[in-house]
């Protein structure tokens, strides 16, 4: 257990100095933080234990953490470690400075052919690695694809991912963002034999 679980604003969690809020959602905040031992910048996802229990999300959070520990790849956002206090859970992630691919498209319009080809190849590399580990993202979209300072693509947000090693029921649930899901998902075809092709089709939709 670590400090930082009180009611006041976070200043330090373990070896991390905590700064500004980067993003805030219904169940979590993402804060900028710095490792005081190495000077490395990180993103700290802060979850409230009571909210997790109230919304019956404990298994989902455990699955997401287990998956991110498994999928260590240059084109996947890296999980550094997970810390906990009496009231909070802190997920320490690689800090990505370039923002979302979605924002780049909005700012600059259609991507150049060279950029589109590079991002698509990096996306396929990341997805292929996940598949080899038995992980299926299930919510690939430009908002979940981040760009680092060198312009390399990183897959993020494994909250809806399926991992057959932890049970097959998730392979038969429908999820994802409507504009990016494969036709099989719209038609409720979610058999595990078809699942491998769904992220590849999502990747194709993103590239368009």
Q: What is the pLDDT of residues 119-174, one digit of tens each?
A: 999 999 999 999 999 999 999 999 999 999 999 999 999 999 998 776 645 555 55
* Catalytic residue chosen out of the listed positions 48, 139, 148, 157: 139
pLDDT in the model for residue 64: 95
As given in the structure block, the two tokens for residue 64 are 């997401």
SS3 84: strand
SS3 state at 27: coil
pLDDT of residue 27: 85
Whole-number mean pLDDT of the chain? 84
Q: Is 139 a catalytic residue?
A: yes
pLDDT band at 186 (very low <50, low <70, confident <90, very high): very low
- Confidence band, pLDDT 50/70/90 cuts, at residue 26: confident
* Domain at 12-94: CATH architecture: 2-Layer Sandwich (3.30)
Residue ranges, CATH 1.10.510.10, the chain: 101-207
Torsion sign across C-alpha atoms 57, 61, 67, 73: positive
Kindly indicate whether the domain formed by 101-207 is annotated with CATH number 1.20.1540.10: no
Are 36 and 17 spatial neighbours (Cβ–Cβ below 8 Å)?
yes
Does pTM surpass 0.75?
A: yes
Looking at 7-21, 46-60, 111-125, 180-194, which range is the least confident one?
Answer: 180-194
Residues of the chain with CATH 3.30.200.20: 12-94
């Amino acid at each position: 257990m670590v400090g930082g679980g009180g009611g006041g604003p976070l200043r330090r969690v373990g070896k991390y100095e905590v700064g500004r809020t980067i993003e805030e959602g219904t169940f979590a905040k993402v804060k900028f933080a710095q490792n005081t031992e190495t000077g490395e910048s990180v993103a700290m996802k802060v979850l409230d234990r009571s909210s997790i229990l109230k919304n019956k999300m404990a298994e989902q959070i455990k699955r997401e953490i287990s998956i991110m520990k498994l999928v260590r790849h240059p084109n996947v956002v890296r999980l550094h470690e997970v810390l906990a206090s009496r009231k909070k859970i802190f997920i320490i992630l690689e800090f990505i400075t370039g923002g979302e691919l979605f924002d780049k498209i909005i700012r600059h319009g259609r991507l150049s052919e060279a950029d589109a080809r590079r991002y698509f190849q990096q996306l396929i590399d990341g997805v292929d690695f996940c598949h080899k580990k038995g992980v299926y993202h299930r919510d690939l979209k430009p908002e979940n694809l981040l760009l680092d300072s060198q312009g390399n693509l990183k897959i993020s947000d494994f909250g809806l991912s399926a991992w057959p090693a932890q049970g097959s029921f998730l392979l038969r649930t429908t999820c994802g963002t409507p504009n990016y899901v494969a036709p099989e998902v719209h038609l409720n075809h979610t058999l595990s034999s078809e699942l491998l092709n769904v992220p590849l089709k999502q990747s194709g939709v993103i590239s368009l």
